[in-house]
Amino acid sequence: DVQLQASGGGSVQAGGSLRLSCSASGFTFDDYTIGWFRQAPGKEREGLAYISNTDGSTKYAASVKDRFTISSDNAKNTVYLQMNSLKFEDTAVYYCAADQSPPTVIGGLIMPIMDYWGRGTQVTVSS
């Protein structure tokens, strides 16, 4: 079974940092693209970043490009999302997802269409 487990969420003050982890199992990690997404209450799911484990390429949404960094530890089957300079509007449930192909990007927006999804982890930023 494909399993994706996001962890590392929590509460932080604006300006602070968090590092999320996405542990994967049940598929050949090196062959997949892993993405991070988030969904705030009353809003649509938003793509933040993804990394291709086949070639290491990355893509970021404009809203997080200068603040968030995605990385992958293929030996641990884990993808990380380092989040710095957090803002109140970053408050959301964060999800990781996997697909053999990178997600579609339309107008700079990373579409939340992936084959496998994990349960989310809550990130709360207080102002």
110: Cβ contacts below 8 Å, ≥ 6 apart: 35, 37, 46, 47, 48, 49, 50, 59, 61, 103, 104
Q: 63-102 in b/e burial notation, b at 16+ Cβ within 10 A?
A: bbeeebbbebeeeebbbbbebeebeeebbbbbbbbbbeeb
**pLDDT tens for residues 30-63?**
999 999 999 999 999 999 999 999 999 999 999 9
Task: Yes or no: say if 99 and 66 are a contact pair by the CB < 8 Å rule.
Answer: no
How many Å separate Cα 9 from the centre of its chain? 12
pLDDT tens string, the chain, 127 residues long: the values are 999 999 999 999 999 999 999 999 999 999 999 999 999 999 999 999 999 999 999 999 999 999 999 999 999 999 999 999 999 999 999 999 999 999 999 999 999 999 999 999 999 999 8
Instruction: Give the separation between CA 36 and CA 117, rounded to whole angstroms.
Output: 10
How many helical (H) and strand (E) elements, i.e. helices and strands, does the chain have? 0, 13
